[in-house]
Chain A
């Protein structure tokens, strides 16, 4: 490794120090705020009062703590398993088989990522709710006594899990694409069945990436809010985030102590998990499969089974994308939603779209939102690509970058918003209430996503390639630019798109940061939901999804072009 070789006696390379400094500047203010808020009483005006440990004591003594902790683990496990199993299976079909129509899966995944999470959850509730079409079918087939109860842990894990299938698919397919398939091929040549080749070779080679992904999703579920609030609370099921949310809102005047104590505890748990994961990937070089020789992945000929592959992909596309989007589109033509019925079709009108085209915050906020997404992704992706590569190369001190960049994953967005409000209102720069402040906050929030992704990709590039470049005299910057970036191009472009699509739909973070004139789309959608304008929300959502589909299509074409070029 160039840096390690160049600086054999330095414990921490200057580049790592510089990157760590940037991370500390970004992350320290909200982190310190979290710690502070968990250790002090909050006065009515929001300033800190006396030092106290009571929030930690109360957290441990919380009557509901054990029950919600158990629910949280079940929910996190369930949703991670659903997302990873389905997403990985889909990625394998697309990347490793000759299933017809497989390339459309990317398109499907990307459309689905463009559906704001809150709309997506609403759509699933419309579908699976007591008055929804799924229960109507069950009543028709089995009788009125039987019904599925979506307001349960199972329902929560299902909605959250399916919601994360597209992300898993995109991440896993990028990993698979850059994994040398000749090992699988060798296994099959040696007489192993495709299934055996998959379990003995592919799965094991992809283990570090899978592990990183599992950790990401597990931690995310711990912090997730929409599904626990919309699905869980309606069924009296509390997970830790909703318990905290209720504590925050207990007496009208927000008190963030308990939420702070919760986040700090969570940071410790995640730090332990990360430590465990870094031990697990200690022998990461074993997984490097992109070497100097041609690594173009080969495709498995499924024979007649390839149509089964197509059927699976179509079914997934229907479940993950078409059905939720269809119910939203249906709702967008309704004056109100009370289930899917023939009667309801008779009520259809364009009224909601008419409201949309009138003067309103929708058009004002679209441009802001696109700037927000593009700026966030354009900062996060190159930054984490560099960090992820340094970590994968075990440059001295780089593990610190990994830990720092993963930290924001466990800051609940609710608290992160409050923390950043406090930061920006105090910074002697005119940032408070501006779009720039939202961009900075959302960059911090999506660092972990970029990091996990870049790291998984970089793990698979054999350092020989960089070594070769170094030997012929390429300076460090050139090695990164000419060797690493092109090899990582496909995953980096997908990461850009993913960060873009995720950052434009987050609600809790910009809620307090935006001011007059800097409104963003997600907040407008959230307000429509709060004001009970579900049908207007659906029409705005439909327009938004169409727009995001256009952006995603453009990207898909660029990525394909890139692949051809590579």
Chain B
């Protein structure tokens, strides 16, 4: 915090001014915590009245702009015409960096943040406020956070992708043990440099097989001369598979190959049991300037309408009463008759450091 020392007084002035506007935004003089955790029957009306006075809402999200964020914001503003919604898209790491910087400078811009891994990182860094939304009652029990720190927004399933020109469907690995076949040596790519890449793969193995068996397996996998792909997202790795650069990619989002396959690309998904899954999370930022509008947005994203927009954008909805796109249904473990291993953000976070260490020792 370089400038804080140099111009402390001016910063303090700005902070006071910012706080002033923030306080003015609170309709009834109730604290942000009171508003966010209101379970009462008058919640709906109070939130609407409050949001009307706040007039705006800012979302930071990792979702795709054109397919998800823009339709979401358009529909939200259509429903609540008195609110002006703006959004900024960044990866989880960037969202956290921005939230942290805003918090330290007490210059809060974001009201709500959403993305895979956003919840536990933001909560862990003390950047959030607990909140309640009645919409969670429509979610399956395993997709609820008992302590109201975040709410889940969309589910992701992980599996392998293979190029159908280079690997015949009959030959494609069907289990984790098939990956150890010597014929795949030097042909398996996986994504490094992000928590949802190699650490997630290793964590899933450790949790499903136990430490010793997982380690024995990973020692064998290390003989396969894995390709550590660090040049982009899981989606870009699937594109490299389509282009024929790598025959097989591990630990990619299960629906990505299906979307490309529908366009005729030579790629397919193959689930391995158990199928790891994780969820995008939504949090409300500490010191939120528009708490009522933030609640309205959280309610909206979890509502049937909001979830349908996410489903249309080819995400897996978290509500069981909203169906995913039919073309993507085949990778939902329940429908494929495969066991699912749900890695909650807490669980993932607790295990990531150890999994990273294993990766460094065996695969770098």
**Which residues on the A side are within 8 Å of B1 (C-beta)?**
47-48, 422, 426
Could you tell me the distance between the alpha carbons of A511 and B60 in the complex, rounded to whole angstroms? 13
Does A61 belong to the interface (CB within 8 Å)? no
A527 and B65 form a contact (CB under 8 A) = yes
Tell me the nearest residue of chain A to B7, going by C-beta: A428
**Interface check A512, CB cutoff 8 A:** yes
Q: In the complex, what residue of chain A is closest to B127 when comparing beta carbons?
A: A45
A425 in complex: contacting residue of B107, B125, B263, CB < 8 Å: B107
Our pick among A63, A425, A516 for the contact of B101 (Cβ within 8 Å) is A425
Instruction: Decide if B242 touches A338 in the complex (CB within 8 Å).
Output: yes
B4 at the interface (CB under 8 A from A): yes
Give the distance in Å from the alpha carbon of A131 to the alpha carbon of B246 in the complex. Answer: 10
User: Would you give 5 A-B contacts (Cβ < 8 Å), ordered by A?
Assistant: A45-B125, A229-B232, A234-B227, A338-B265, A530-B236
State the CA gap A428–B90 with chains docked (Å): 25
Measured CB to CB, the nearest residue on chain A to B233 is A530
User: Contacts A236-B227, A252-B117 hold; do A338 and B96 have CB atoms under 8 A apart?
Assistant: no
Instruction: Indicate whether A242 sits within 8 Å of B101 (C-beta atoms), given known contacts A44-B124, A253-B96, A516-B88.
Output: no
**Are A45's CB and B230's CB within 8 A?**
no
Q: List B residues 225-274 near A (Cβ within 8 Å).
A: 227-233, 235-236, 238-240, 242-245, 256, 260, 263-266
Residues of the A chain whose Cβ atoms lie less than 8 Å from the Cβ of B189: 234
Is B206 an interface residue when CB atoms closer than 8 A count as contact?
A: no
| A421 / chain B contacts, CB cutoff of 8 Å | 97-98, 101
Closest to A249 in B: B193
Contacts of B126 in A (CB 8 A): 44-45
Asked if residues A427 and B3 are in contact (CB atoms below 8 Å), the reply is: yes
Is residue B55 contacting chain A, with contact meaning CB distance below 8 A?
A: no
Which residue from chain B places its CB closest to the CB of A362 in the assembled complex? B66
Partner of A234, one of B10, B124, B231: B231
Instruction: Tell me which residues from 93 to 135 in chain A have a Cβ below 8 Å from any Cβ of chain B.
Output: 125-126, 129-131
Measured in the bound complex, the distance between the Cα atoms of B126 and A335 in whole Å is: 44
Task: With a 10 A CB-CB cut-off, give which of B10, B232, B264 has the most chain A CB atoms.
Answer: B232
- Given contact pairs A48-B1, A230-B232, a sample of 9 additional A-B residue pairs in the complex whose CB atoms are under 8 Å apart: A29-B3, A251-B352, A252-B92, A336-B263, A421-B97, A422-B1, A426-B1, A529-B236, A534-B239
A234 touches B229 (CB 8 A): yes
C-alpha spacing A336/B261, complex, angstroms: 10
Q: Which residue of B lies closest to A419 (CB)?
A: B2
**A396 interface residue (CB < 8 Å to B):** no
| Given A339-B243, A432-B107, residue A254 in contact with residue B97 (CB < 8 A) | yes
Contact A426/B260 with A44-B126, A129-B243, A360-B70 known, Cβ cut-off 8 Å? no
* CB of A486 closer than 8 Å to a CB of B: no
Find residues 499-518 in chain A having any chain B CB closer than 8 Å to their own CB: 511-512, 514-517
Is B236 within 8 A of A426, CB to CB? no
Cβ proximity bits A415-427 to B, threshold 8 Å, 1 near / 0 not: 0001001110111
Please tell me if the beta carbons of B4 and A426 are within 8 angstroms of each other in the complex: yes
- Closest Cβ of chain A to B227, distance in Å, is 7
With a cutoff of 8 Å between Cβ atoms, the chain B residues found around residue A245 in the complex are: 193, 230
In the complex, how many angstroms separate the beta carbon of B358 from the nearest chain A beta carbon? 13
* Contact yes or no, B232 A530, CB < 8 A: yes
In this assembly, does A531 line the interface, its C-beta being within 8 Å of a C-beta of chain B?
yes
Q: Which residue of B lies closest to A430 (CB)?
A: B14
Least CB distance from A360 to B in Å reads: 5
Residue A233 interfacial (CB < 8 Å)? yes
Q: Are A252 and B195 in contact (CB under 8 A)?
A: yes
Write the B75-105 contact mask toward A (1 if CB under 8 angstroms, else 0). 0000000000011111111101110111111
CB distance from B140 to the nearest CB of A (A): 26
Question: With A131-B243, A360-B70, A532-B238 known to touch, is A423 a contact of B2 (CB < 8 Å)?
Answer: yes
Contact across chains for B193 and A529 when beta carbons are under 8 A apart: no
In angstroms, Cα B361 to Cα A64, docked, is 12
Check A428 against B236 for contact (C-beta < 8 Å): no
For residue B109, CB closer than 8 A to chain A, the reply is yes
Instruction: Please report the C-alpha to C-alpha distance between residue A231 and residue B7 in the assembled complex, in whole angstroms.
Output: 44
| CB–CB B109/A515 < 8 A | yes
Q: How far is the CA of A527 from the CA of B88 in the complex (A)?
A: 12
In the assembled complex, the Cα of A531 lies from the Cα of B233 at a distance in Å of 7
Instruction: Indicate whether A514 sits within 8 Å of B88 (C-beta atoms), given known contacts A46-B97, A425-B107, A432-B109.
Output: yes
The docked-state distance in angstroms from the alpha carbon of A33 to that of B6 is 13
Which residues of the other chain, B, contact A359 by a CB distance below 8 angstroms?
A: 70
Task: Decide if B58 touches A516 in the complex (CB within 8 Å).
Answer: yes
5 interchain residue pairs of minimum CB distance: A131-B244, A532-B235, A46-B100, A516-B86, A233-B230
Residue of A at shortest CB range from B191?
A233
Chain B residues whose CB sits within 8 angstroms of the CB of A250 once the complex forms: 356
- A338–B101 touching, CB < 8 Å: no
In the complex, A235→B265 CA distance in Å?
24
Across-interface contacts of A47 in B (CB, < 8 A): 1, 100, 104
In the bound complex, residues from chain B placing their C-beta under 8 Å from that of A48 are 1
Q: How far is the CA of A46 from the CA of B231 in the complex (A)?
A: 25
Set of chain B residues within 8 Å of A433, measured between Cβ atoms: 88, 109
B362 at the interface (CB under 8 A from A): no
Residue A185 is within 8 A (CB to CB) of chain B in the complex = no
Cβ contact within 8 Å between B14 and A335:
no
Nearest CB in chain B to that of A230: its residue: B231
In the complex, which residue of chain A has the Cβ closest to the Cβ of B107?
Answer: A425
Say if the beta carbon of A337 comes within 8 Å of chain B.
Answer: yes
Tell me, rounded to whole Å, the shortest Cβ–Cβ distance linking B241 to chain A: 10
Minimal beta-carbon separation of A410 from chain B (angstroms): 19
List the B side residues contacting A29 at CB < 8 Å.
2-3
Q: Does B192 have its Cβ within 8 Å of any Cβ on chain A? A: yes
Note all chain A residues with C-beta closer than 8 A to B155: none
- Interfacial chain B residues near A63, Cβ < 8 Å: 364
Q: Flag whether B327 is at the interface (Cβ < 8 A).
A: no
Asked if A337 contacts B239 (CB within 8 A), the reply is yes
Say yes or no for A9: interface residue by CB 8 A criterion: no
- A245 to B193 CA separation, bound complex (whole angstroms): 8
Q: A130-B244, A246-B192, A246-B193 are in contact. Are A32 and B2 (CB under 8 A)?
A: yes
Q: Nearest Cβ in chain B — how far from A551, in angstroms?
A: 26
Assuming A46-B97, A360-B66, is B194 touching A249 (CB within 8 A)? yes
What's the least CB distance linking B86 to chain A, in Å?
4
Provide the residues of chain A in CB contact with B91, threshold 8 Å: 530
- Contact across chains for B14 and A428 when beta carbons are under 8 A apart: yes
| Interchain nearest-CB distance for B123 vs A (Å) | 10
Query: 1/0 per position for A253-264, CB-CB distance to B under 8 A?
Result: 110000000000
B185: A residues at CB distance < 8 A = none
Nearest opposing residue in chain B for A422, CB measure: B101
Contact mask for chain A residues 211-235; partner B; CB cutoff 8 A; 1 contact, 0 none: 0000000000000000001110111
The answer to whether B88 and A515 have CB atoms under 8 Å apart is yes
Q: Which of A254, A426, A512 has the most CB of B within 10 A?
A: A426
Asked if B11 is at the interface (CB within 8 A of a chain A CB), the reply is yes
Contact yes or no, A532 B97, CB < 8 A: no
In the bound complex, residues from chain B placing their C-beta under 8 Å from that of A534 are 236, 239
Contact residues in B for A418 (Cβ distance below 8 Å): 97
B353 within 8 A of A: yes
Instruction: List B15-52 residues whose CB lies under 8 Å from chain A.
Output: none
In the assembled complex, which residues on chain B have CB atoms less than 8 Å from the CB atom of A355? Answer: 66
Assess the B244–A129 pair: CB atoms within 8 A. Answer: yes
What's the least CB distance linking B261 to chain A, in Å? 10
When distances are taken between beta carbons in the complex, the residues of chain A under 8 Å from B65 are: 360-361, 527
CA distance A126 to B239 in the complex (A): 11
- Measured in the bound complex, the distance between the Cα atoms of B352 and A531 in whole Å is 24
Decide: A46 and B353 in contact? CB cutoff 8 A: no
- From B14, B231, B232, B236, name the one whose CB has the most chain A CB atoms within 10 angstroms: B231
B121 at the interface (CB under 8 A from A): yes
Any A CB within 8 A of the CB of B64: yes
- Which residues of chain B come closer than 8 Å to A231, judged between CB atoms? 231
Q: Would A532 and B256 count as touching, CB distance under 8 A? A: yes
- Residues of B near A234 (CB, < 8 A) are 189, 227, 229-231, 240, 245
B167 CB to nearest A CB, Å: 14
Distance of A47 Cα from B121 Cα, bound (Å) = 14
Instruction: Using known A-B contacts A29-B3, A423-B3, A515-B88, determine if residue A338 contacts B244 with beta carbons closer than 8 Å.
Output: yes
Give CA–CA (A63, B364) in the complex, Å: 10
